[in-house]
Structure 1
């Protein structure tokens, strides 16, 4: 707990650059980072949305479908661990972000060229390696460049708004329509174009953040190397990692298997399926504002505890409801409120627990561990269960993951600055009459 003593919960980023940045620049930065991560997810979700076309063409099993999702998550996680730390070391966050954006865009073209499971698996590994460092760098930029009073909202928007409008809504709707008109290969080529445009916007419109100097060493806090194990000694950090592993598994499993489940088990046509899945994107885009902003007011812990329990509505609806696609989309919409907590456990709580100089490192730990454990093992287990017990087996796994997440989150310590200030404020003084 020495690390936690040295860096108290609710740490204010007074050492950051936000005091010198105008509100307009802070807004522009969050907007461009949200757009860029949206394009990341547009490319990442492309294979999930196009799976009803890809699976019969390449003769993929359920386990292979899970492995494709796992492979991308694995290389994504490795990149998140090390690119985040590299950006802390080099202090070249904008440059690394632009390089990663160009690289993952080119990897989308490789996915469209795939002629076998092995080829496609290799392309997804490369894409994950290119994409993994994007979010740790982006969150570190938000943490140092944006006013801490709006940190939760800004990080929620940067991670959730673009990723869900572009990746979870537009990706299934646009790419399925494009694949229906042409083929799934052309759809992958289309997915590569926006990233190149985003890289240019970031390069020309954002400035490289000024590196934050590390705190001076004292007898109580010697100048020693800060590693992942040091971060995990803090309770909030390891709880965020555990919840993150479970909820990233929930997310990746949902997107890996739900499109096929809706077409093969529920009997929806690909177009209807794309709109049902698109409802998740619209929901998560709204919740990126509502949940993150709400956590700034009522605290991080309440939303982290209750929303995973609410998430059981999605898989229960898929299992039990056999009526209108519109009603099923509405059930998904409510249950997917849990997506609003992703930036909170991946970025907001860790960045409020550690000083700015360590942000990219701890954010890389949070995101990388979530991906390497939840994103890698979750879909493989889901695919194996589907092959062994039927295509609805992954839904029961989703319910279990949600419930465990809610209980684990009960151990969190609050970090929201507004809530901590309210708790620390002295009570009302005595009245003039002495009562």
Structure 2
């Protein structure tokens, strides 16, 4: 009984600590954009240079995701690698406060991208191994939701407040501290995940190159990659252009715009917690279809009714939860579709493609169309991306343990 109780306590600890790890990844990564209005003039940086910096960070984020996550699957040592990356991206955040030129800023953000890229696959692969089957989706969804709550809702308020109160350099110093503290906690209390320990005890269980290549031929992994790429187009394009559209195309006050954006971020957080939890009970596939279908109508309703505050508010409250399918396609389904030793690889492949294709090309295309056709054009791009994602869900094979009783090493191939 004590063993079961201790296992549950460790599982709860893991979810809480990893929630903050993922939250800090997005807090540190997004902080540059939030403080740039104060930082940019001080360093004589242009908006183009900001865009270059963000793009390069995303590029190295994506590349390091697949390299280091795959490496962790082959050599094990997920705990050591995660602790190192947490320390490194925290130090990169601190160094951002010391930069005095554009080149120095680029270098610090390259380091940040390299360190932050593998964090999500490592975190989610560790959590999946240590989660009970009934809580697997819930746990992984809670952790993914940190990107919306901490990165999307809290980060703008926190970083701007610190920059105004203490200066932009001190803001970076301060937000680097929690990462260093978390790194120490992880080093002291985190255990190597179960499959790593088992593989170390059974050398014959070590993964092979052929097994690794088979991951990329898995049907669910490919479909989740397409859906995840569409989701990155959806979320990054929406969050990038919606604030500008509301500010330039309506007569809303700053407080009203802030409330609308805050509600959207909060409800996305609720969706990212709720959808995976529901999928534990009803299956991944029906929840994936329902929430991805809801997501289609969010940009459509904004495009049609953005000048009607009441309708827009109700639309955001009801439809923002649609993005709750994100943890399912970015983490849960890919992880359950491959042998457990390759969980980090499957997740990292989805993230890599989403970051480089969806995260870069989507906003760029939206920006060009916005200049040519107006600020509602990006909203229609996000609607099309959401529709493609929904259609692709019909090719996904069910992976939820409650629906599919599978052996320990799941293998859902083409």
- Please tell me the TM-score bracket, short chain as reference: 0.7 to 0.9
Deviations for 1:347-399, whole angstroms, at most 9, x for unmatched residues? 21122222221212222222222222212322222333334444443222111
RMSD: 3.2
Matches within 5 A, 1:169-318: 169-181=153-165, 183-210=167-194, 211=196, 212-213=198-199, 224-226=208-210, 229-266=213-250, 268=252, 272-318=256-302
Deviation at residue 197 of structure 1 after TM alignment: 2.0
Give the equivalent residue in structure 1 for 2:410.
none
Q: What TM-score do the two structures reach when normalised by structure 1?
A: 0.81
Q: Distance in 2 between matches of 1:24 and 1:195?
A: 23
Q: Are positions 1:351 and 2:335 aligned together?
A: yes
Give the equivalent residue in structure 2 for 1:130.
115
Q: Are positions 1:337 and 2:321 aligned together?
A: yes
Deviations for 1:12-60, whole angstroms, at most 9, x for unmatched residues? xxxxxx9896111111111111111011111223234446656777331
> Contact (CA 8 Å) 1:52, 1:259: kept in 2 or not?
no
Distance 1:340 1:418, change over 3 A: same
Match of 1:396 among 365, 371, 380: 380
> Contact (CA 8 Å) 2:140, 2:331: kept in 1 or not?
yes
Aligned residue pair count: 399
Give the equivalent residue in structure 2 for 1:386.
370
Q: What TM-score do the two structures reach when normalised by structure 2?
A: 0.84
Question: Higher relative contact order by CA 8 Å / sep ≥ 6: 1 or 2?
Answer: 1
Q: Distance in 2 between matches of 1:69 and 1:383?
A: 15
* SS class of match (1:420): coil
Unaligned runs of 5+ in 1: 1-17, 423-435
Q: Distance in 2 between matches of 1:396 and 1:349?
A: 27
* SS class of match (2:403): helix
Match of 1:139 among 124, 145, 150: 124
> Contact (CA 8 Å) 1:155, 1:348: kept in 2 or not?
yes
Q: Distance in 1 between matches of 2:50 and 2:257?
A: 18
* SS class of match (2:199): coil
Q: Distance in 2 between matches of 1:186 and 1:387?
A: 36
Q: Distance in 1 between matches of 2:97 and 2:259?
A: 23
> Contact (CA 8 Å) 1:383, 1:394: kept in 2 or not?
yes
Give the equivalent residue in structure 2 for 1:38.
23
Matches within 5 A, 1:397-416: 397-416=381-400
Give the equivalent residue in structure 2 for 1:59.
46
* SS class of match (1:419): coil
Deviation at residue 134 of structure 1 after TM alignment: 0.6
> Contact (CA 8 Å) 2:66, 2:348: kept in 1 or not?
yes
Deviations for 1:316-353, whole angstroms, at most 9, x for unmatched residues? 34433345767645433433223322221122112222
Q: Which has the higher helix share?
A: 2
